[in-house]
Chains A and B, each alone.
Chain A
Amino acid sequence: MKSRYSIFSLMRNALSYHEKWPEAWRSPEPKPSYDVIIVGGGGHGLATAYYLAKLHGIHNVAVIERGWLGGGNTGRNTTIVRSNYLWDESAALYEHALKLWEGMSQELNYNVMFSQRGVMNLAHNQHDLRELSRRINANRLNGVDSEFLTPQQIKDLVPIIDLRGNGRYPVLGASMQRRGGTARHDAVAWGYARRADEQGVDIIQECPVHGFEIENGKVVGVQTAKGLIKAKKVGVVVAGHSSVMAEMAGIRLPLVSHPLQALVSEPVKPVIDTVVMSNAIHAYISQSDKGELVIGAGVDKYVGYGQRGSLPVTEETLAAVCELFPSLKRMRMMRQWGGIVDTCPDASPIISKTPVEGFFINCGWGTGGFKATPGSGWVFADTIANDRPHPLNEAFSLERFNSGYLVDEHGAAAVAH
């Protein structure tokens, strides 16, 4: 390991005025060819590259990013991590990811500040309660921690909540995953980048992809702003731009890209210690370590590649927040932004081989990709390395949209995030 981060290295470097810290990763020019090229330098892509090298011995790997690492949804999400999904297939995938989160800071030797402060999903009516019970039971039997909280237990954990919800959206209960929580999103990208680089992976930023070289149904290279780069295999993991990239390889996807909006308040002293999500009223909220309230809003309904959100969505979300937390009405929105989320008809991802040999795609994470980052990279690396899906992502094939075996998370769970 080139330079281990620790309190001791911090002290040592303090003596030399922090002038001796090495680069966290190199910025090399691309080689003429690679065994694997990962298109997309977000958390998922960087994790894929890292696991390809670390677990599958494939070190001749490049990650190609059109802008800066983590500049897409990795750096734009509300950092919630949980695994309490309804269907067995989803629960297994996200739980695998959660286990990786639990050791990530140590694995990467980079503090990603994964904080298991708990994630709560509120129920506001009898239907919500029924669905909550179904999900809690399914989670439990899948080995995913999940419990029911009574309104009083909710109030004890989040004293600023108004359980009456003004009568319109009363809080009748919640599911709680205590192992869920939040993490520092940028650090995930940087931590994986640093470790992948250490494993020999070339990270190439500011290098847009213009097309793919395909010969006899097999991918052989990637056309980029820095010229043609040959590759034996290509993995595309570019979230909102998946349809655009796939089209370059002649593949159609069932995705719709929407702008998803988030916002933060000005920083204040701690007022909320867990993550509170309410699907019925389209709001979820947590507080960052810096003190900002981090609020996730809904998507704009139309296809949009602009990384910005519209005012009606802000209004709807903040009205809901003010309703649940009437004391936060005087807080102020400090910054608002949007990311482009690629939503799938069944609200589940696609981690799959494609009709083009050697061309793999990982997309469709919709509004919930961040939490899957390590697991997504892990199974994608395995799928690329072995040319077949890992059992954890077998159900998430592109094929399912023909056969009908959908993993319908929004139809089933009262949670679409």
Chain B
Amino acid sequence: MLEINCPYCGPRFETEFSYGGEAHIERPKDSENLTDEQWGDYVFMNSNTKGVFLERWVHTSGCRRWFNVARDTVSYQILAVYETGAKPPKLDLRNDV
């Protein structure tokens, strides 16, 4: 049971949140001009990182706001929480695996 620090509500149990997968994958504005492969990459591919992963969460049972989390996918340690649209913070990656 992770403890996630919602930027708007504070620390809450994992069960209050829903997961949104990898962060910083922007929806293409000119999908017309993309090849099938480029579009397929946007829709389906992801980095599925082992180690520090930038991902999206939403506080479903709380404020219903989306935000981003930097989390180590091995230790599950949460290194940072930041707002949607913000750049990822500089992380001390000494805990990286």
Name the segment of A57-65, A118-126, A239-247, A281-289 touching the other chain: A239-247
With A243-B48, A301-B18, A301-B19 already in contact, the answer to whether A401 and B40 are too (CB < 8 A) is: yes
Report whether B48 and A257 are in contact in the complex, using a CB–CB cutoff of 8 Å: yes
Report whether B44 and A303 are in contact in the complex, using a CB–CB cutoff of 8 Å: no
Task: Type the 1/0 row for A309-335, where 1 means its CB is closer than 8 Å to any CB of B.
Answer: 011100000000000000000000000
Report whether A304 and B46 are in contact in the complex, using a CB–CB cutoff of 8 Å: no
One of A302, A305, A311, A401 near B45 (C-beta < 8 A): A401
Report whether A256 and B74 are in contact in the complex, using a CB–CB cutoff of 8 Å: no
Q: How many residues of B contact A (CB 8 A)?
A: 27
With A303-B73, A305-B74 already in contact, the answer to whether A403 and B36 are too (CB < 8 A) is: yes
Task: Type the 1/0 row for B1-15, where 1 means its CB is closer than 8 Å to any CB of A.
Answer: 110000000000011
Q: A244 CA to B43 CA in the complex, in Å?
A: 19
Q: A305 CA to B47 CA in the complex, in Å?
A: 13
Q: Is B83 an interface residue (CB 8 A)?
A: no
Residue of B nearest to A255 (CB): B48
Near B by CB (< 8 A), chain A positions 194-250 give 241, 243-244, 247
Q: Could you list which residues of chain B lie within 8 angstroms of chain A, going by C-beta atoms?
A: 1-2, 14-15, 18-19, 21, 36-37, 39-41, 43-50, 53, 55, 71, 73-76
Q: Could you list which residues of chain A lie within 8 angstroms of chain B, going by C-beta atoms?
A: 241, 243-244, 247, 252-257, 301-306, 310-312, 342, 345, 401-404
Task: Give chain B nearest CB distance to A385 CB in angstroms.
Answer: 28
Beyond A243-B50, A253-B48, A345-B43, 9 additional contacts (C-beta under 8 Å) are A243-B48, A243-B49, A247-B47, A252-B45, A253-B45, A303-B48, A304-B76, A311-B1, A401-B43
Residue of A nearest to B37 (CB): A402
Total inter-chain residue pairs, C-beta < 8 Å: 67
One of A244, A302, A311, A404 near B50 (C-beta < 8 A): A244
Q: A310 CA to B4 CA in the complex, in Å?
A: 14
Residues of A near B53 (CB, < 8 A) are: 303
Residue of B nearest to A301 (CB): B19
With A243-B47, A255-B48, A305-B50 already in contact, the answer to whether A310 and B36 are too (CB < 8 A) is: no
Residues of A near B40 (CB, < 8 A) are: 401-402
Q: A404 CA to B39 CA in the complex, in Å?
A: 10
Report whether B55 and A302 are in contact in the complex, using a CB–CB cutoff of 8 Å: yes
Q: A257 CA to B36 CA in the complex, in Å?
A: 25
One of A254, A306, A311, A404 near B75 (C-beta < 8 A): A306
One of A247, A304, A312 near B15 (C-beta < 8 A): A312
Task: Give chain A nearest CB distance to B6 CB in angstroms.
Answer: 15
Report whether B1 and A256 are in contact in the complex, using a CB–CB cutoff of 8 Å: no
Report whether B50 and A310 are in contact in the complex, using a CB–CB cutoff of 8 Å: no
Report whether A254 and B74 are in contact in the complex, using a CB–CB cutoff of 8 Å: no
Report whether B37 and A312 are in contact in the complex, using a CB–CB cutoff of 8 Å: no
Residues of A near B43 (CB, < 8 A) are: 345, 401
Q: A310 CA to B47 CA in the complex, in Å?
A: 23
One of A311, A342, A345, A402 near B36 (C-beta < 8 A): A402
With A305-B73, A310-B1, A312-B1 already in contact, the answer to whether A252 and B47 are too (CB < 8 A) is: yes
Report whether A303 and B14 are in contact in the complex, using a CB–CB cutoff of 8 Å: no
Report whether A306 and B47 are in contact in the complex, using a CB–CB cutoff of 8 Å: no
Q: A147 CA to B75 CA in the complex, in Å?
A: 45
